[in-house]
Amino acid sequence: MASLKEMRNRIASVKATQKITKALQMVAAAKLRRSQTAAESARPYANRMNAVIANLASGVSGDGAPKLLAGTGSDQRQLLIVATADRGLAGGFNSSIVRAARIRIATLLAEGKDVKLIVVGKKARDQLKRLYGNRIVEFVEAGLNPSLATAQAVADKVAALFDAGEIDQVTLYYSRFVSVVTQTPTGARLIPAEVAAGGPVIDLKNAAYEYEPDAETILETLLPRNITVQIFSALLENQAGFYASQMAAMDNATRNAGDRIQAYTIQYNRTRQAQITKELIEIISGAEAL
């Protein structure tokens, strides 16, 4: 059985841990509001760009379609972009994204596909390099605050690989922020660009119109930019989901620390009472012996 001093040290240690987890919970809660606002503010722009591309793509087909829209006609060479956070202490947030990517990687390899990886975030790199380190072609730190420059660096690498003919399809894995308690690991195809079906129809009031320049030229400009926008939006979604998960994880850790302190305190008091009782019995027995 542990001595009273050891029990006091345990209680003090758990109390110190509880202070840390409580502080992390409060910091995550403060940062969550800003991150959630940023993620939700980016969605309309990304959705509108998808709608514009879908509208333009409806009038483009055949050999005139840009390669980023039509693809290469093959799916043999796959590129997966796996985006997580750089830090942990957020429950299963990072692991859930990597797990979804691993399932996809295993499926593609079983089908005989060639798979390459771009990892964004230290946690994605650490978890994927154990099994697929030789398939990682680029690593980018997520950073404390997602920036368009980070998204552009990833998009430039994707464009370079695609232009060099090294990849046929690109899929982005991240965690979509739904609510404070729900974050959904999501895979979104970037190349060939996914054209949303059943999107909002633009009411032109029966007016005739034509694009200047032509739709193909506009798509050639919009499609690379859309890749950057989708990656940036995913990074913002990830940040909001990370802080939500961290807040929940630290809240659970704080509660568990409180339960542990209570259990240790009860054990300490019982042990102390037993020692006092034993000492009294020894004193009384000694007095009676005299």
Evaluate whether residue 30 is within a structural domain: no
Residues 156 and 85 in one domain: yes
Residues 87 and 165 in one domain: yes
Residues 216 and 285 in one domain: no
- Kindly state the average pLDDT of the residues 103-115: 94
Domain that holds residue 277: 4-21+250-289
CA dist., res. 218 & res. 55, Å (int)? 12
CA atoms within 13 A on the CB side of 9: 5
Residue 234 reports pLDDT greater than 80 = yes
Residues 128 and 242 in one domain: yes
Residues 183 and 39 in one domain: yes
CA dist., res. 135 & res. 201, Å (int)? 42
pLDDT tens digits, residue range 252-264? 999 999 999 999 9
Residue 58 carries which DSSP code?
T
Evaluate whether residue 43 is within a structural domain: yes
b/e 88-105 (16+ beta carbons within 10 angstroms → b): bbbbebbbbbbebbbebb
Question: What is the three-state SS of 258-281?
Answer: HHHHHHHHHHHHHHHHHHHHHHHH
Mean of the per-residue pLDDT values for the chain? 87
Residues 242 and 265 in one domain: no
Look at residues 273, 280, 271 and name the one whose alpha carbon lies nearest to residue 6. 271
Residues 54 and 125 in one domain: yes
Q: Which three-class secondary structure state does DSSP give residue 167?
A: coil
Residues 163 and 267 in one domain: no
Evaluate whether residue 274 is within a structural domain: yes
- Kindly state the average pLDDT of the residues 253-278: 90
Evaluate whether residue 29 is within a structural domain: no
Residues 149 and 256 in one domain: no
Residues 232 and 268 in one domain: no
The answer to whether the CB of 170 falls within 8 A of the CB of 158 is yes
| Model confidence, pTM | 0.84
Structurally, the chain folds into a number of domains equal to: 2
CA dist., res. 236 & res. 241, Å (int)? 9
